[in-house]
Amino acid sequence: MFKAKVYVTTKANVLDPQGAAVQQALHTMGYAAVDDVRIGKYMELTFDTTDRAQAESELEQMCKKLLANPVVEDYRYELED
Amino acid sequence: MKVAVLVFPGSNCDWDCVHAAEQTIEGAVVDRVWHTTDTLEGYDLIMIPGGFSYGDYLRSGAIARFAPVMQAVAKAAAEGVYVLGICNGFQILTEAGLLPGALRRNTGLKFRCHSSQLHVANADTAFTSGYAAGEVIDIPIAHGEGNYYCDDAVLEQLKARNQIVFTYTDNPNGSVADIAGVINEQGNVLGMMPHPERAVNSLLRNEDGIRLFTSIMKAWRERHAIVG
């Protein structure tokens, strides 16, 4: 069994309207030091296998094909035992 | 002319597309086709309607693109069949890689639902030959994620190949280069956020969408050398 933690974020050069709105709210609240807010997605996947290499290679494909849209998003993941 | 209107769980503009095609395309036979269908043999036009396929879970269109029917759409598109994706249909086509770019959340974060003025940026396509180049038409929008994005290299390509078909006169969502609709390089797959199927009836006081459908009919007839 492996557990994957997948983080999907908006690419650095792509505007994140939600992040911009949250940043504005934080400024309104008085947190003037907040320079930038980026909102992303966090996913947890569990794998029923003992083959770590296989799980990792499948996870990479899943990220590319479905979990993230490479046109506007970056992804990274951690695979835990 | 045989028309397929795809239906995913969460599609909600499918009947509008059916009625629009029936009203505007003379002799059209229109079928609603469920997303589990794996063949689209015999159809001349495939419409992917608006709505919220699969609840827009993960990203708009992200899950719909893996529905069995999308394999058939890719095959038909490669064979030159006309494909028209409207709103969620446009999002699905970009997710499927049949059109370049992606649709993001509107910059104002608001769901924008109102009429919108579009420039016909390319009137030399199978979908827009009935319009004049540069003509301004009124086609309503209804979306929360219609903010078109592509990087500079892709934008240059789109411009060079005349793939930008519609642009907003007053950008409602933050789209790069005011883009409202793009076509693929082969010229048979069009995606657009505005809803031409909601602008085909004088009862609704807007008929600017009619010519989009009659243009497709004309292109199809020319392709099959049908006089009439």
- Residue A71 belongs to a domain with what CATH number? 3.30.1280.10
Chain A residues lying within 8 Å of B174, measured CB to CB: 15, 17
Rounded CA-CA distance B160/B155 in Å is 9
Q: Which residues of B touch A41 (CB under 8 A)?
A: 58
Best mutation target among B57, B59, B148, B157 (most A Cβ atoms within 10 Å) is B59
Reading the block at residue A72, the tokens are 């506007």
The answer to whether the beta carbons of residues B167 and B177 sit under 8 Å apart is yes
Dist. CA B8–CA B207, nearest whole Å: 27
Can you tell me the ipTM of this complex?
0.84
Helix (H, G, I), strand (E, B) or coil at B55: helix
Across the interface, whether the CB atoms of A15 and B174 are under 8 A apart is answered yes
**pLDDT means over runs of 10, chain B (228 residues):** 97 97 96 97 98 94 96 98 98 98 94 97 98 96 97 97 98 97 98 98 93 97 81
Query: For B196, phi and psi rounded to 5 degrees?
Result: -65, -25
| Structure-token pair, residue B32 | 């609603």
User: Does any CB of chain A come closer than 8 Å to the CB of residue B150?
Assistant: yes
DSSP letter assigned to residue A45: E
pLDDT band at A1, cuts 50/70/90?
confident
**B104–A67: do the CB atoms touch at under 8 Å?**
no
The CA distance from B174 to B196, in Å, is 21
Per the DSSP assignment, residues forming a β-bridge with B164 are B182
pLDDT of A81 higher than 90: no
In chain A, which residue's Cα lies nearest the Cα of B95? Answer: A69
Q: What is the pLDDT of residue B175?
A: 97
A–B: how many Cβ contacts below 8 A?
A: 35
If you search the block for the tokens 């409207």, which residue do you land on? B86
Told to judge if B195 belongs to the known catalytic residues of this protein, a careful annotator would answer yes
Q: Which residues contact B67 (CB under 8 A, 6 or more apart)?
A: B8, B35, B36
Pick from B175, B166, B176: nearest CA to B212: B166
Say what the pLDDT of residue B226 is: 74
Q: Report the CATH fold assignment for B2-223.
A: Rossmann fold (3.40.50)
What is the per-residue pLDDT for B227? 66
- Domain extent, residue A54, equals 2-80
Are B40 and B67 within 8 A, CB to CB?
A: no
Report the pLDDT value the prediction gives residue B204, as an integer from 0 to 100.
86
How many separate domains does chain A show? 1
Q: Are B81 and B188 in contact (CB under 8 A)?
A: yes
Q: Which residues of A touch B105 (CB under 8 A)?
A: 17-18
Percentage of chain A exceeding pLDDT 70: 100
Q: For position A15, what pLDDT does the model report? A: 86
Domain ranges of chain B: 2-223
Residue in A13, A18, A72 closest to B102 by CB? A72
**pLDDT, tens digit, for every residue of B29-45?**
999 999 999 999 999 99
> DSSP 3-state assignment of B62?
coil
Please answer whether residues A22 and A37 qualify as being in contact, where contact means their C-beta atoms are separated by less than 8 angstroms.
Answer: yes
Q: How many CB atoms lie within 10 A of CB B144?
A: 18
The amino acid sitting at B185 is E
What are the Cα distances from residue B112, in Å, to B88, B116, B150, B172? 14, 10, 21, 7
| Tally of CB atoms within 10 A around B124 | 12
Q: Is B96 on the interface with A (CB under 8 A)?
A: no
Query: Residue B225's pLDDT is what?
Result: 83
